[in-house]
Amino acid sequence: MFSLLLGLDFQLFVMRDKVVVITGGSTGIGKALAEEFGRHGSNVLITGRTKENLVLAVEELRKKGITISLFVGDVGVEEDNRAMTAEAIRLYNRIDVLINNAGISMRAAFEDVDLPVIHTVMNTNFYGAVNATRYCLPEIKKTKGSIVGISSIAGIRGLPGRAGYSSSKFALTGFLEVLRTELLPFNINVLTVYPGFTASEIRKRALNENGIAQGESPRDEKKMMTAEECAKHIYQATVKRKRSLVLTAQGKIIILLNKWWPALADKIVYGYMAKEKD
């Protein structure tokens, strides 16, 4: 019983007064992460390209007693990341955790998609994380903190109709593995998160073959893990300084099949994704 209570105390207080930067923090998993870290006492800075969404998120979370600020910027633009880091230091004097969450998706067969769509997805999902990490890293080295990357099951197992998205998440996975190894002497933890399908806005904003947001999800969002549940798991993994986190039973099964029975995984994944509308 004592050890259980001690563990609960650790969970409650270890992130108190830590400074957490979350890219893409105005909606979905990013917003849920801001609330989860914030309710454990962290000081949060969320970023995004749309000021109105950021303001709404900050107003809502401040009403819940969370210490949170915003920065309007595009992770795909290098200079915006330099300014984001400077703003975090101006507000809070340090950075303990960077969560590379900003991401967009796409949905189209590779032979149909305009190639600039893939470039756009890669610029946010991969280069966005590279940019943010590059400028936050010197501060995280000072605090011996954590770098978290929100990859995807699609970053382990390629998904049909998601060539740009899967490619960007595979690249992110590799980038985080390099960081984890290079930063061993500095006691910095690097956590790669592999969510399965999670209820969020990402599918509504996914780009079609022409680079236009499709506007509605092709899947039943009600059957997915919620962003809030996802955020709780990510918070706990960050506190425990884990190296990886695979979410949803479905995701774990797909990874297992892909490792041991790849040909079967090809057929199962194709059949599953082919059931999507249109």
In contact, 102 and 30? CB cutoff 8 Å? yes
Q: What is the edge-to-edge ordering of all strands in the sheet holding 67-72?
A: 67-72, 43-48, 19-22, 97-100, 146-150, 189-194, 244-246
Distances (CA, A) of 166 to 132, 170, 198, 209, 224: 20, 6, 16, 15, 19
C-alpha closest to that of 204 among 213, 212, 195, 196: 213
CA–CA distance, 274 with 17 (Å, rounded to integer): 46
The active-site residue out of 92, 135, 165, 235 is: 165
Say whether 270 is catalytic. no
In contact, 243 and 180? CB cutoff 8 Å? yes
218 secondary structure, DSSP code: S
> What is the separation, in whole angstroms, between the first and last Cα of the chain?
54
Q: Which residues are catalytic?
A: 165
